[in-house]
A = this chain, B = another copy of it.
Amino acid sequence: MKEINVGLLGFGTIGAGVIRVFQNNAEVMERRLGARLKLKSVADLDITTDRGVTVEEGVLTTDAMQVLTDPDIDVVIELIGGYEPARTFVLKAIEHGKHVVTANKALLAKHGEEILSAAAAKGVDVMFEASVGGGIPVLSAIKENLCANNFRCVFGILNGTCNYILTRMTNEGADFSSVLKDAQAKGYAEADPTFDVEGVDTAHKLAILVSMCFGTRIDFDDITIEGISNITPLDIQFAKEFGYKIKLLAIGKRENGTVEARVHPTMIPVNYPLADVEGVFNAVRLVGDFVGPVMLYGQGAGMDATASAVMGDVMAIARDQLAGHQARTPAMGYIPDCIADLPIKPMRDIVSQYYLRFTVLDKPGVVAKISGILGNYGIGIASMIQPDRKKSEAVPLVIMTHEATEALISDALADIDKLDTVREPSHFIRIENDME
């Protein structure tokens, strides 16, 4: 029976998961492939810590170059994470004619172009299903069976930490910092959670989704990113009253030759399937011109789910290898020459409905003034509530608007924030009612 040799860089949590797939599922992979996948080398600086899996003698090494230059190795799995030495190692693997599978979205967001160009020049595959949505097979769905569609939009709940925190804030009425602390204690949030809670991780994943759905290069720095640390129990409560849930949503849209690419807390109607995605689960909603809406849901992280996606990529490469050819499906789903450079729409030009929360003195005429300013900017009011009326103290006033450009909203809010009767800077949250 033919063998495909695989090398692994990075013996951390996910690495241990990958090794377990090789050990536990060798038979089913053989039955599907008609060949044997062999894990020939595993490189890590630390090869002594117990990861709960036993590796055959001679497989572990501290020398990554041993994996990268081994002429018998066909596929290199990169699970080191971060920018360096991951970038150098991946480029070295490509240089040596090896296919690469990675889960490293940060690397792809920053050095994707360089890596994919090198791979295309060398005629090898770079696959990265595990980088978006963990075990959810979303990238292969876009590249493979849904590829006859023009995608109109893509929405994602892509960060388990944020979704876990928002879910608990929603279910328990707790505030952000206390849930974060508990999430850290339980291992659902990192000691430094910035990357997750401020939306950077979600944006890395969105960059990949937008590129693959719309066939365009994305400059990561053009993505608008807002995290969830400013979301208050009050906002969640008001959202509920209006029939919404707040999710950290990755949003990609394409219209008239421009794309939107943004990550921010978003109110979505409670009866939408994405609103039901709870805790550490992830989900992606794709809307194609023929398929309509498709939602994919599953575990967005974790050693086993991520290992599933990594090994799915290894199997795809192995099938190509056995068939005697390479790079059957382009890495980003489009022939490199056919990838466009669609501009990202500036945030001021996006159109949305908005939830606006003002903190105002409870005096006669305040509502009139605020709604007057909104009216001057042509912003329609869909509904308004002003609960907890306590004379002379600052109280919340909540307005849900009709569709307006972000430019109008931010200009109007700047004016409103100058009013004497407005005691705190206004809050707003974008609403996504139309997910088609």
Binding site for B on A (CB under 8 A): 17, 20-21, 24-25, 28-34, 129, 135-137, 139-141, 143-150, 215, 273, 276, 288-299, 302, 304-305, 307-309, 311-316, 319-320, 323-325, 328-330, 333-335, 338
A155 shortest CB reach to chain B, Å:
13
Partner of A145, one of B149, B276, B312: B312
Q: Which of A144, A288, A295, A323 has the most CB of B within 10 A?
A: A144
A30 partner residues in chain B, CB cutoff 8 A: 338
Partner of A309, one of B145, B309, B334: B145
Q: Output the nearest chain B residue to A333 by Cβ-Cβ distance.
A: B32
What's the Cα separation between A137 and B150 when bound, in Å? Answer: 16
With A296-B296, A298-B293, A335-B32 already in contact, the answer to whether A320 and B328 are too (CB < 8 A) is yes
What's the Cα separation between A338 and B291 when bound, in Å? Answer: 33
12 chain-A/chain-B pairs, Cβ below 8 angstroms: A20-B290, A32-B143, A32-B330, A32-B333, A135-B288, A135-B290, A139-B145, A140-B144, A141-B141, A292-B304, A295-B297, A323-B328
Do the beta carbons of A136 and B308 come within 8 Å of each other?
no
With A145-B129, A298-B294 already in contact, the answer to whether A319 and B329 are too (CB < 8 A) is yes
What's the Cα separation between A410 and B319 when bound, in Å? Answer: 48
Q: Which of A20, A292, A304, A320 has the most CB of B within 10 A?
A: A292
Q: Output the nearest chain B residue to A314 by Cβ-Cβ distance.
A: B148
Do the beta carbons of B148 and A137 come within 8 Å of each other?
no
Partner of A298, one of B129, B295, B313: B295
Q: Output the nearest chain B residue to A130 by Cβ-Cβ distance.
A: B145
Nearest first, the 6 closest Cβ-Cβ pairs linking A and B are A148-B311, A145-B312, A137-B145, A31-B338, A291-B308, A135-B291
A183 shortest CB reach to chain B, Å:
20
With A140-B140, A294-B135, A296-B295 already in contact, the answer to whether A32 and B289 are too (CB < 8 A) is no
What's the Cα separation between A47 and B392 when bound, in Å? Answer: 77
Partner of A34, one of B312, B314, B335: B335
A336 shortest CB reach to chain B, Å:
9
Do the beta carbons of B305 and A298 come within 8 Å of each other?
no
With A148-B315, A150-B25 already in contact, the answer to whether A304 and B325 are too (CB < 8 A) is no
A328 partner residues in chain B, CB cutoff 8 A: 319-320, 323, 328
A277 shortest CB reach to chain B, Å:
8
Do the beta carbons of B147 and A312 come within 8 Å of each other?
yes
A212 shortest CB reach to chain B, Å:
10
Do the beta carbons of A308 and B323 come within 8 Å of each other?
no
